[in-house]
Amino acid sequence: MKRFTIITAAAALLSLGAKAQTEVTAYTPGLTEDGITYFLPATSLRVVLTATKTHHTPGEFCEYAERYLRLRDVPQTAYDTWTIDDVKIVPYGVADKSKAYSIKFKQKTSAPYVSLTNDGRLLSVNAKSSVNDEQLPVASVTKVQQKTVNGADFKTEEILSAGSTAKMAELAANEIYDIRENRGLLTKGQADFMPKDGEQLKLMLANLDTQEDGLMQLFRGSASSETHVVVFDVTPTQDIDRQVVFNFSKYLGVVDADDPAGTPVYISVKDQKSLPEVVAAEANGKAKKEVADLRYATPGRALVKVFSADKEFVSQSVPMAQFGRVEHLGGELFNKKTTTHVQLSPVTGGIVKIEAERPE
């Protein structure tokens, strides 16, 4: 067997002749007895937002932080803050119901097998598809693992036996000052009990740091974080100019598009007109008869931007089926003399690979 392989790089590959052995007609709803109905895709965009939610919990002695430790602006109530970590776009394919076709194989046509996605997009003909739908990012919440200390674990017996919260706070502050004094004496080599070597010194200083962090938490409070992934789907049918994808609030996270608490984040999609225009060929003043054969898409490119009033998150050129055109695959590739293997992109409908086998 002679085998040749063509990786699609240009549509010129497929300007094959008019004597097609395979009949392709526009789809009308209903079952076909002797054919296969498939869809070409439209390219959708999944906007994936990754944000961090930080929950701030006030300390037990927060109201005494300024009095005893000179700490200003210490939170007195619990609150949340949100920050945007990343925004990206992930293209994926959906069935374009306006581009549906039925393949009817006539006599003397090689019997093919066809792979389709669950929603009917054509993946391959006479080939096992190697380009399946990718696993799309989905919404999720992940707790951020942090090394934390519990301030209550560092309360001394004297602190615990104090008669009021104010007295407990005063004693805790005194303990913090004692820890700082001991750290200073250790680093100067003036402590009553000096370590024997450098490693022991590091261990003692680390232990003092942990105690101070725990006691300071009683005044400053603590924070815990979660990573949130939120997704939004957009399927452009034409250019999009500043369409609101979501609103984002520093204190509430993602909010409704009309919520004034949030700042809008927009998407724009601009057809880059990347494909040359096609002029229909005419013979004797009449348009050339359309060839009936396998259909595929030559995607165009669109410039996709995701941005807010003060920041651009994404600026990316994306191949998209709906900004391209539908092409024809010559029928001579599907006959008794040739077995043709075709793989299509589930995202754009473009040809990924063609491989033809001919008998010697």
In this structure, is residue 154 part of a structural domain?
A: yes
The pLDDT of residue 112 = 65
CB 331 within 8 A of CB 292: yes
In this structure, is residue 328 part of a structural domain?
A: no
CB 29 within 8 A of CB 37: no
The pLDDT of residue 334 = 61
pLDDT tops 50 at residue 8: no
pLDDT tops 60 at residue 109: no
Burial class (CB in 10 A: 0-12, 13-18, 19+), 271: middle
Q: Which of 185-189, 192-196, 267-271, 343-347 reaches the highest mean pLDDT?
A: 267-271
Our count of domains for the chain comes to 1
In this structure, is residue 324 part of a structural domain?
A: no
The pLDDT of residue 146 = 83
pTM of the model: 0.79
The pLDDT of residue 4 = 33
pLDDT tops 60 at residue 76: yes
pLDDT tops 60 at residue 252: yes
In this structure, is residue 218 part of a structural domain?
A: yes
Domain extent for 190: 60-70+145-222
In this structure, is residue 75 part of a structural domain?
A: no
Q: Give 147-205 as a DSSP string.
A: ----GGGG--HHHHT-SSHHHHHHHHHHHHHHHHHHHHHHHHT--SS--SSHHHHHHHH
Tens digits of residue pLDDT in 321-338: 999 999 887 656 666 666
| Average pLDDT of the chain, as a whole number | 83
Percent of the chain residues past pLDDT 90, beyond the cut: 56
In this structure, is residue 206 part of a structural domain?
A: yes
In the three-class reduction of DSSP (H, G, I as helix; E, B as strand; rest coil), residue 332 is classed as helix
The pLDDT of residue 321 = 96
Average pLDDT on 71-83 reads 95
In this structure, is residue 52 part of a structural domain?
A: no
pLDDT tops 80 at residue 66: yes
In this structure, is residue 129 part of a structural domain?
A: no
